[in-house]
Amino acid sequence: MSRHAAKDLPPDAFEERDEAEDLPPADDAPEIDFDFEEGAVKAGTEIIRRFWTTLPTSPGVYRMFDAKGDVLYVGKAKNLKARVGSYARGQAHSNRIARMISQTAAMEFVTTATETEALLLEANLIKQLKPRFNVLMRDDKSFPYILVTADTEAPQIVKHRGARRRKGNYYGPFASVWAVNRTVNALQRAFLLRTCSDSYYENRTRPCLLWQIKRCSGPCTGEIALDDYRGLAENAKSFLSGKSNAVKDRMREEMQAASENLEFERAARFRDRIAALSAIQGTQGVNTQGVEEADVFALDEQAGQFCIEVFFFRNFQNWGNRAYFPKADRTMSADEVLASFISQFYDDKPAPRIVLVSHPIEDAELVAAALSSRVEHRVEIHQPQRGERRNLVEYAQRNAKEALARRLADTASQGKLLVALGQSVGLTAAPRRVEVYDNSHIMGTNAVGGMIVAGPTGFMKTHYRTFNIKSEELTPGDDYGMMREVLQRRFKRLVKEAPRTAKEAAAAASEGGVPEPVPEADSDVFPAWPDLVLIDGGKGQLEAARSALQDIGVSDVPLVGIAKGRDRDAGRETFFVPGRPPFKLPPRDPTLYFVQRLRDEAHRFAIGSHRAKRKREMIRNPLDEIAGIGPSRKRALLHHFGTVKAIQRAAYEDLAKIPGVNAATARAVYDFFHTNA
């Protein structure tokens, strides 16, 4: 990567034109009429012109930075000199481009061998850096797949997310975990494949409950021959690969043969397995006759907001859909938004053979070539005009329109509730960011603090945080002390990362912090600082929170305590606001219901975090505490000795004989158990 710095150039330096880019001089540029200072646009243009002079004509990716070093925009180009020069022409740009130019203080460039490589790099950088002026995917959660493993003697069928490191066959994506769980359960009944972990499988001495209820064929204890079990696994893979009718026909033949041989119990089992497969196919929704494998992208725009509905079709079956609401400037066209979204969407997942779209994609062939380079087949991007493919796109577009309408309605009602909440607690404006805090523990053990966040679009789950209570000075069960620790840790970090005043910025710099810019009140960026903090508790909890913020020097964040009613009845909550007497809201007030939803979500999140921590503590293995013992060596030790107690009793010589465990590791394991005995 080469970073080009602006230089002091003579006035005529820019007059040396390149054949690939015929730029007029700055003085001859026509005037641009924008709703912000024209001088800022000219200053940004001049900075870009200075970078332009040293650029090559090769493909690459460019980044534009503001004065604070934040990335404004990431773009790709077939010809870097020509593309960057288009910003410096001084000709009439859109409002969005002019704002971007006016804020540009520096640029960075990466040259690539091909335009396809530049497109892939652009999508990767956009997802990482989240530039302000790019189209941004707001939900990049990975999709679930079904995995039939191939690294054990008895293949396992499991739900899978993330990188494909394990050997086996992957089928998907599915739009939701619910769809995967439903399909895996049906496949268990149909093919009797195991879902247990390898360690559980290897240590069974008698069949488990799943074998008894006919959900597993019991390969762990030899209830079925391994060759026959592998045949079941092959049938499952054939079904998931689209050969469902052939698999069902074979089962019908075996059912008929069993019936003719008077093996009625065996015939009944085949009948139930066929019914399970039919249940999978019957719940797929809209299926296709002529489209075996495709993803369908349909975009709808209303009130300056976009919704992209994605449908997944595999093996002639609909495997679900998901709605996305990308962040994009209102001035961008639907074609631009959809093209940018698709490039980012497939940044971390394989593309199918066919991608159907509702709008024409600029450089569709280039995008298709980039997607094809990541998979072992050719990818086609197509906007169908007639036939079944067109019907699928129209179906997806109708869903996109309905999803966006629901979101706009929910956002409007959420905005009204935030206005009412602000008025109820005495705020001068509606809060844009509301944080709610709650603690969870059992007699002081595994104590966890939870923070949930709500905004104009509902619960902002990517902003949720958990706090493991670390202080050893707290008395077990001291709720006030826990709340004080959570608030101090939260706002100390906030002051460090997003200072609002010169004093806070100086304090952050002294501690080595990297301050982030705090968005203006009218900005579209979700604020880092809360406009309102709700504490699940009464006067004591509120006072603990107030003193925690005072110790940090934060005194302008509104705090409200919410005490549950008598017998913890919902609807009788008492509100505590500093400087005001306690008050209650009318029983049927929508604001009260809204507060209850916020409090219940905070309680749910804190309880869930506590249970997860408690579960981890319960299953914690002493081997995890030994330096140098990773998953592979732990698996080798347990596979050889069976239990941790057996490892603890083992001699050093026995430990050193285990494949994969060297002498140093064996000594570390031996010393750990005998030193701490």
Of the two residues 143 and 13, the one the predictor is more confident about is 143
Per the structure, the count of domains in the chain is 5
pLDDT of residue 86: 86
Mean pLDDT of 612-639: 76
Specify the pLDDT at position 503. Answer: 67
Please give the angle made by the CA atoms of 68, 73 and 79, to the nearest 5 degrees.
Answer: 125
| CATH code of the domain in which 342 resides | 3.30.420.10
Strands (E), 360-519: 380-382, 434-442, 445-455, 458-459, 465-468
Q: What is the pLDDT of residue 676?
A: 55
User: Does residue 288 lie within any of the structural domains?
Assistant: no
pLDDT at residue number 17: 35
pLDDT of 355 above 50: yes
- Which helix (H) or strand (E) element contains residue 494? helix 479-497
* pLDDT of 62 strictly over 90: yes
Rounded to a whole number of angstroms, the distance between the first and last alpha carbons of the chain is 55
Query: Over 90: is that where the pLDDT of 434 sits?
Result: yes
| Beta carbons within 8 Å of 181's beta carbon, 6+ residues apart | 159
Please give the mean pLDDT across all residues of the chain: 80
Q: How confident is the model at residue 24 (pLDDT cuts 50, 70, 90)?
A: very low
| Range of lowest pLDDT (30-39, 187-196, 268-277, 416-425) | 30-39
Name the domain boundary from 282, 313, 347.
282
Domain boundary, last residue among 406, 422, 450:
406
The answer to whether position 661 is within a domain reads yes
- Are 354 and 264 in a shared domain? no
Using CA atoms, how far apart are residues 119 and 381, in angstroms rounded to an integer? 15
**143/172 Cα distance (integer angstroms):** 8
In this prediction, residues 479-501 reach a mean pLDDT of 87
Q: Are 135 and 332 in contact (CB under 8 A)?
A: yes
CATH number at residue 662: 1.10.150.20
| 608 and 640 housed in the same domain | no
Do 119 and 214 belong together in one domain? no
> Higher pLDDT residue, 332 or 503?
332
| 108 in the same domain as 89 | yes
pLDDT range class, residue 13, cuts 50, 70, 90? very low
Radius of gyration of the chain (CA): 31
What was the pLDDT predicted at 451? Answer: 94
Residue 286 has a CB neighbour count (10 Å cut-off) of 13
CB-based contacts of 299, cutoff 8 Å, min separation 6: 306, 307, 308, 309, 334, 337, 338, 358, 359, 397, 400
pLDDT grade, residue 74 (50/70/90)?
Answer: very high
pLDDT at 667 over 90: no
Answer whether residue 458 is part of any domain: yes
605 and 654, same domain (yes or no): no
The reply to whether 442 and 578 lie within a common domain is yes
Q: Is 40 left (phi over 0), alpha (psi -120 to 50) or beta?
A: alpha
- What tens digit of pLDDT does each residue of 382-429 get? 999 988 889 999 989 999 998 888 888 878 888 899 999 999 999 999
**d(Cα 510, Cα 503) in Å, to the nearest integer?**
11
pLDDT, average across residues 608-623: 75
Q: Are 149 and 168 in contact (CB under 8 A)?
A: yes
Does the reported pTM lie above 0.85?
no
Answer whether residue 2 is part of any domain. no
Residues 237 and 270 both lie in one domain: yes
**Helix, strand or coil for residue 296?**
strand
**pLDDT higher for 47 or 244?**
47
In which band, very low, low, confident or very high, does the pLDDT at 8 lie, cut at 50, 70 and 90?
very low
Has residue 207 been placed in a domain? yes
208 and 167 in a common domain: yes
Claim to verify: residue 43 and residue 101 sit in the same structural domain: yes
pLDDT one-digit tens code per residue, 270-323 = 777 777 666 655 544 455 667 778 899 999 988 788 999 999 888 777 777 888
User: Is 557 inside any structural domain?
Assistant: yes
φ and ψ at residue 152, rounded to 5 degrees:
-135, 165
Contact (CB, 8 A) for 641 and 622: no
CB 109 within 8 A of CB 2: yes
Task: Please report the pLDDT score of residue 179 as a whole number.
Answer: 73
Residues spanned by the domain of 311: 293-406
332 pLDDT band, cuts 50/70/90, is confident
Looking at the fold, whether 612 and 626 belong to one and the same domain comes out as: no
Q: Is residue 198 part of a domain?
A: yes
C-alpha torsion sign, points 426, 431, 433, 438: positive
Query: How many Å apart are CA 258 and CA 232, to the nearest integer?
Result: 17
Reduce the DSSP state of residue 337 to 3 states and report it: helix
Q: What is the mean pLDDT of residues 671-675?
A: 80
**Does 399 share its domain with 445?**
no
Residue 136 in any domain: the answer is no
Give the whole-number percent of the chain exceeding pLDDT 70: 84
Provide the percentage of residues in the chain whose pLDDT is more than 90: 14
Q: Which of 178-192, 432-446, 580-594 has the lowest mean pLDDT?
A: 178-192
Helix (H) or strand (E) holding 633: helix 631-641
* 445 and 591 both lie in a single domain: yes
Contact 142, 348 (CB under 8 A): yes
CATH code (residue 478):
3.30.420.340
Using the 3D structure, point to which of 282, 301, 334 is the last residue of a domain: 282
| Highest averaged pLDDT of the listed ranges 17-31, 89-103, 203-217, 612-626 | 203-217
Confidence of residue 243 (pLDDT cuts 50, 70, 90): low
pLDDT at 470 over 70: yes
Q: Give the pair of three-digit tokens for residue 317.
A: 């079956």
